[in-house]
Structure 1
């Protein structure tokens, strides 16, 4: 089992790196500048992911009267933006891949700083006695190494060696797609018992509803064309498991019940976000028929 866990971790790293590399290959400096110079978009995205979605998680946990372990897992997930699957969903929905990848890296970086205070503040206000304390430096280094650096390498190659970037892009995208499926299968096989144990606790429903609400909030609190707005929705709906897992290890002693609830919340959230992206992709791929205005 330990060997399988190590293999899955290695595949997950490959998935994250190739996804960000492929996004960088398809990016351009002007397009990236367009994202980061859109101040309203940045402000709205930060508000949605750092404030609104954690509060929605709190509200859902209280509304569904979740037990403490599931409530803690839901708050940890809601307080942790910038999951790398967000960039993948931007690709799946045929959305604004450059904007989605850039925003996902930004949210993961800022979330490394805000996660601890946000989660701790909500859990304290909800009278769940705990103290979420994380190694912020380690989180920032992880985001930089696995997400920012590959994206930057792909962007630089796209700018200075466009022919090479175009020729490598299909291979990076293919590896990203294959490892994405392997990671999904590994998550399901590795956590199916935990998910089954949660069937009567409403934790799965809470994770599903959180992802749907996050997609709606991320889409509404965004600027630009529909492709960019729905991309921001997908990025918002996928939360970052890294800080949440670190918090469980440090603040909760790797309690199996909290870990199981976290797996259930993350998987049910992905089960909500993936069909939305697939539906959007189908609508954008469908051929548009011109109305028949000719006379009979």
Structure 2
């Protein structure tokens, strides 16, 4: 079982790195300047992901009267923006991949700093759980190594070796697609028992509703054409599981009930986010918006 766990972690790392590398190969400096100079877009994304969605997690948990484990898992997920599935969903929906990847990395980096105080504040106000404290340096380092570095390498190749970038982009996208399917299968196979134990509770529904609400908020609190707005919605709908897992290990001693609830929330959230991206893809005849700033 340990070997399978290590293998799954390795595939997950490859998926994240390949996805960000492929996004970088399809990006340009001009497109990134268009994103990072768009102050309203940045501010709205930060408000949506750092303030509104965590509060939504609190509200949904209270509305559904979730048990303590489910409430804690939902709040931890809602408080952790910048999930690596965000860039992948931008690709799946044929959205603005450059904007999605750039915003994902930015949110993951900022989320490394804001996650602990946000989650701790909500759990304290709701009088649920314990204080959440994390190694911020370790979180930022993980984001840099797995997300930022592959994206920058791909971006530099596109800038200074365009023919190489064009030839490498299809295989990088293929690796991202294949490992994406493996990661999804691994999550389902590894967590099915935990999910089954929660079928009688509202935790699965809460995770689903949170993802739909987060997509809606991310789309509404964005600027630009619909393709960019829905991309921001997809980035908002999938959260960063790494800090949540670390918090459960540090603050809750890897309590099985919370880990199971976390798996249920994450999987039900993906069950909501993936079909939304697929429907958007079916409505778009063109390819991903990766080359030109909007």
TM range (shorter): over 0.9
The offset of 1:270, in angstroms, is 0.4
* Residue number in structure 2 paired with 1:235: 235
User: Which residue of the partner structure matches residue 271 of structure 1?
Assistant: 271
Residue of structure 2 equivalent to 1:38: 38
Structure 1: how far apart are the matches of 2:41 and 2:144? 22
Q: Which residue of 2 aligns with 1:86?
A: 86
Match in the other structure for 1:22: 22
Mapped to 2, the partners of 1:237 and 1:193 lie a distance apart of 24
Contact 2:72 2:129 in 1 (8 A): no
Task: In structure 2, list runs of 5 or more residues that go unmatched.
Answer: 287-294
Give the SS at the match of 1:142.
helix
- Paired with 1:263 and 1:61, the residues of 2 have a C-alpha distance of 16
Q: TM-score normalized by structure 1?
A: 0.96
Distance 2:129 2:239 in 1: 23
Residue matched to 1:112: 112
1 CA distance for matches of 2:97 and 2:140?
22
CA deviations on 1:49-92 (whole Å, 9 max, x unpaired) are 00000000000000000000000000000000000000000000
Quote the offset at 1:200 in angstroms. Answer: 1.1
**Which residue does the alignment assign to 1:254?**
254
Residue of structure 1 equivalent to 2:144 = 144
Q: Highest Rg: 1 or 2?
A: 1
Give the ranges of 4+ consecutive aligned residues of structure 1 lying more than 3 Å apart after TM superposition.
none
Q: Could you tell me how far apart the structure 1 residues matched to 2:228 and 2:247 are? A: 32
Aligned counterparts of 1:8 and 1:130: Cα–Cα separation in 2: 30
How many residue pairs were aligned? 286
Give, in whole Å, the separation in 1 of the partners of 2:162 and 2:40.
31
CA distance in 1, matches of 2:135, 2:201: 31
Q: Structure 1 unaligned runs (5+)? A: 287-296
Q: Which whole-Å CA distance do the structure 2 matches of 1:192 and 1:68 have between them?
A: 21
Other-structure match for 1:294:
none
Measured in 2, the distance between the counterparts of 1:198 and 1:162 equals 50
RMSD of aligned Cα (Å): 0.6
Corresponding residue of 1:289: none
CA distance in 2, matches of 1:275, 1:79: 23
